[in-house]
Amino acid sequence: MSVLEILEIGHPVLREPARELTAEELASAEVQTLIDDMIETKRAANGAGLAAPQVGRSLRIAIAEVEPNNPRYPYKPPIPLTVLVNPVIEPLDEELAQINEGCLSVPGIRGEVPRHVNLAVRYLDRGGIEQGEVRHGLSAGTFQHEVDHLDGVLFVDRADPRTLSTWEQYERFYRDEFEARARALVESVGS
């Protein structure tokens, strides 16, 4: 396995809608190796997720995984390693929450993004088996962020620009308030 280069905002691949994979492509050694490399790359960068366009592959593959005590996002409830192929997200209602997000492809910047609180996600796992789950709150936000990458969308597109901050200023001025809001969201809707 290898750690891949993570592309940064400004790279055109991050703005392309990625294409779906066929069952045959998903089963190929090349794509299975790409998935292994994406997992290793996500873990090396302490991300909560990583999408294939972020490593220069315009394919509908994303990883979501939050280990306990993730140093970038200590308030996020754990998400077991999930490999999403051709994922489809369906909001279950109109409820939105403002979530303060960062992104490995937008280094140094965070901002407040409105996200659906309750959603269903359907996808193929890396073995090509159809999976479906319901996600809430911060975990729902993570899945929306990753699927956005597959549509060429970055969190800064959805953030009120007046909420953007560097990570340093986030920690000085916003972290305590946001982490309290994040804990309240997890308590009220789960993950």
User: Which stretch of DSSP H or E encloses residue 143?
Assistant: helix 137-150
Q: Which of 151, 55, 57, 140 is nearest to 101 (CA)?
A: 140
Beta-bridge mates of residue 49 = 64
Region from 7-15, 66-74, 96-104, 159-167 binding Ni ion, contact rule CB under 5 A: 96-104
* Catalytic-residue membership of 146: yes
The yes or no reply on residue 85 touching Ni ion (CB under 5 A) is no
Half-sphere exposure of 89 (CA within 13 A, CB side): 25
H-only helix segments in the chain:
23-27, 29-44, 137-150, 155-158, 167-169, 175-189
Minimum distance, C-beta of residue 130 to Ni ion, in the bound complex (Å): 25
The yes or no reply on residue 103 touching Ni ion (CB under 5 A) is yes
Based on its alpha-carbon atoms, the radius of gyration of the chain, rounded to whole angstroms, reads 16
The yes or no reply on residue 79 touching Ni ion (CB under 5 A) is no
146, 177, 179, 187: the catalytic one is 146
The yes or no reply on residue 26 touching Ni ion (CB under 5 A) is no
Scanning residues 122 to 181, which ones bind Ni ion (CB under 5 A)? none
The yes or no reply on residue 63 touching Ni ion (CB under 5 A) is no
Number of residues that bind Ni ion (CB under 5 A): 1
- Point out the residue whose Cβ comes nearest to Ni ion: 103
Where on the chain is the footprint of Ni ion (CB under 5 A)? 103
Q: What residues act catalytically? A: 146
